[in-house]
């Protein structure tokens, strides 16, 4: 799979700089925040593992529990040695994003409805199974919107008969030129926790 992901990434870099989330990757194996393209003085890193720390905090030094939140910090540049290192660095910045995008192009990406995800919850999170569709819609909108929530494109629905306002079919995801889209095939733990918090607030 790693080789397939690297080949997938190479197809984008062959065309020039590519975008994934808030990161721009270039054919010379460097990466930086897309808004820093014209910034002259950036802190230089040469190890893809440095991306772990880059992704950990936002500009204000606040911890980022969600790596695909739209608050990646500025002021850095990863200058790496090759395609393998770029793919690894991107995986630290946006876990599994390259592999998920590749699976979508191969029509092999399986999605999981929210109801199925919630049905698996146990212990303190079991209560979230009781969330109504309308409550779920509100939680998804507040937690997953691109402005201050998450940059991933939601491909799942609340249930087989109800999509969320943010849900997209695979063919409806329209990335910009030479962009690798961030995709969400299943609701994450942060959304489940937000659903539990919503239910606790009204009971």
Side by side, the strands of the sheet bearing 43-45 are 18-20, 23-25, 30-33, 76-79, 43-45
Identify the residue whose tokens are 């109801």.
115
Token pair recorded at residue 1: 């799979």
C-alpha to C-alpha distance for 171 and 54, rounded to whole angstroms: 32
3-state DSSP assignment of residue 52: helix
Give the pLDDT score at 169. 82
**Which domains occur in the chain, in start order?**
2-105 (3.30.1360.190), 114-201 (3.30.70.2320)
pLDDT tens digits for the chain (203 residues)?
Answer: 567 999 999 999 999 999 999 999 999 999 999 999 999 899 999 999 999 999 999 999 999 999 999 999 999 999 999 999 999 999 999 999 999 999 999 999 999 999 999 999 999 999 999 999 999 999 999 999 999 999 999 999 999 889 999 998 878 888 889 999 999 999 999 999 999 999 988 76
Radius of gyration of the chain (CA): 18
Strands 43-45 and 76-79: parallel
């Amino acid at each position: 799979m790693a080789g397939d992901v690297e080949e997938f990434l190479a197809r984008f870099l062959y065309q020039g700089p590519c975008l994934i989330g808030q990161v721009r990757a270039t054919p010379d194996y460097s990466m930086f925040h897309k808004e820093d393209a014209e910034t002259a003085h950036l802190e230089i890193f040469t190890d893809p593992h440095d991306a772990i720390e880059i992704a950990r905090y936002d500009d204000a030094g606040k911890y980022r529990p969600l790596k695909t939140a739209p608050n990646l910090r500025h002021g850095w540049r990863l200058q790496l040695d090759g395609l393998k290192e770029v793919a690894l660095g991107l995986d630290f910045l946006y876990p599994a994003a390259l592999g998920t995008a590749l699976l979508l192009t191969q029509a092999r990406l399986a999605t999981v409805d929210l109801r199925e995800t919630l049905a698996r919850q146990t212990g303190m999170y079991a209560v979230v199974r009781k969330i109504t569709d309308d409550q779920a819609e509100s939680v998804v909108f507040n937690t997953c919107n691109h402005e201050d929530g998450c940059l991933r494109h939601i491909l799942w629905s609340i249930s087989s008969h109800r999509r969320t306002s943010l849900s997209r079919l695979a063919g409806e995801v329209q990335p910009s030129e030479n962009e690798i889209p961030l995709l969400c095939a299943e609701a994450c733990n942060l959304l489940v926790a937000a659903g539990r918090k919503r239910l606790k607030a009204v009971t």
